[in-house]
Structure 1
């Protein structure tokens, strides 16, 4: 009996995950095909979930989608968990992989700024300690540019104009910045030398939320004296991998074309 209950529990979770992830909204047949379950079993599981308000059926299209109770539970979890907490294992994995300090940056959409929100440190005595929870510009450094490159164009222009008005950027530098942002999107990550911190190399990749909106970045700040060009590919790959993993935890399910080919640093 226990084995049967465990099997049913696992299948219910599989169905919930599939209903949440599949686009467009799946039919019962599409769900059964994806999960390799008999139609009769899928029908029973969907009925069980519907009874508890977890899924609902669109009678006109005969498809299934998350229902009110599913959203209520999800909202409770999201409200209790911060991106800092979610990012911790990915920052630690990034730092372990290359023994360089890894940082999570969070985008403040209202203020058009970013902050370093969390870090996992390396074992080296020589390292940069970036202050946390201090607002920084998005136009300077790989940490900011890896965010700004994916901000929608209207808001991006507003942010750049505000930097010009504040004297942080001039028109000549604006043209260079816009070219650099195009390159960042094409590569899928940003890399800068000594922009935000003198003598430091920054390599950061964007982090996206469930809506596909850029919400921050994850990457490394490495002392130039320790940086070697031969390590670039490894640093880039790890930053991309961990940023994508964190994006997945935040609900992001689709990869932009740029990120699919971002391992190409040529």
Structure 2
């Protein structure tokens, strides 16, 4: 492949990504200005993509949109993508930084619960036994609250109404007002923090992970309360939130 053809492929792929991320149909002028390409180059790339149905003409004259071939390819890829596989490098990166266990929890809408589906462990001698691949509470623990904070109020009420006592401390579920205040704090900070809720003696720090249609799960670091300096919790929370944002982008929540 020549340097010229390589450049054409690269620009065509970037153009496809731009159209996919656009809110609605695009025009040559719109693409030209946003991508810094000459209008003639945009026309040529659009014609190349239209020839194989990756792009189609829009509903209005002079507009373009994603074509049926792109949808077909995207659907096949989505059906093969494992969120846990995409999450694993994020977990490993956080473990490298903090040498603590990090898990990816997936939201289970039908069960109104979550499940840990991927995990990475550090070199610490003391780690926690964590139940993998089974439904767990959304009310107890940072991993659950990071998800619950982004669910509709009626679902939050349903989840709370069916909740049992804390598996770690035996405490009763919080009152609705108290829970809503906790969830508001999660949304304000961008991450959740919990102590002695899911696991006795443990602190969890978790951030939400989103997909193309909304909340998908959470990334959570778990450690004994005394092993991490409490003053470091905000910085760790922000770091986890950054990794969660990156994962969310890979899962289609945000434009690349």
**Can you give the 5+ residue segments of structure 2 that lack an aligned partner in the other structure?**
165-169
Among 188, 191, 199, the residue aligned to 1:189 = 191
Confirm or deny: 8 A CA contact 2:25 2:58 kept in the other structure. no
Q: What are the Cα deviations for residues 103-156 of structure 1, in whole angstroms up to 9, with x where unaligned?
A: 100000111000111011111111213121021110101000110010122222
Q: What are the Cα deviations for residues 188-238 of structure 1, in whole angstroms up to 9, with x where unaligned?
A: 111011111010000000000112x10100020111120212321331122
The equivalent of 1:66 in structure 2 is 66
The equivalent of 1:229 in structure 2 is 230
The equivalent of 2:36 in structure 1 is 36
The equivalent of 1:262 in structure 2 is none
**2:13 pairs with 1:13:** yes
SS in 2 for 1:163: coil
Deviates more, 1:73-82 or 1:231-240: 231-240
Matches within 5 A, 1:1-266: 2-60=2-60, 62-163=62-163, 173-211=175-213, 213-253=214-254
- TM-score, normalised to structure 1, is 0.88
**Can you give the 5+ residue segments of structure 1 that lack an aligned partner in the other structure?**
255-266
CA distance in 2, matches of 1:203, 1:59: 47
CA distance in 2, matches of 1:65, 1:45: 13
Confirm or deny: 8 A CA contact 1:55 1:64 kept in the other structure. yes
CA distance in 1, matches of 2:171, 2:64: 50
How far off its partner does 1:91 sit? 0.9
How many residues get paired? 251
Confirm or deny: 8 A CA contact 2:46 2:55 kept in the other structure. yes
CA distance in 2, matches of 1:171, 1:235: 27
Cα 1:169/1:198, change in 2 over 3 Å = closer
Deviates more, 1:168-177 or 1:225-234: 168-177
- TM-score, normalised to structure 2, is 0.92
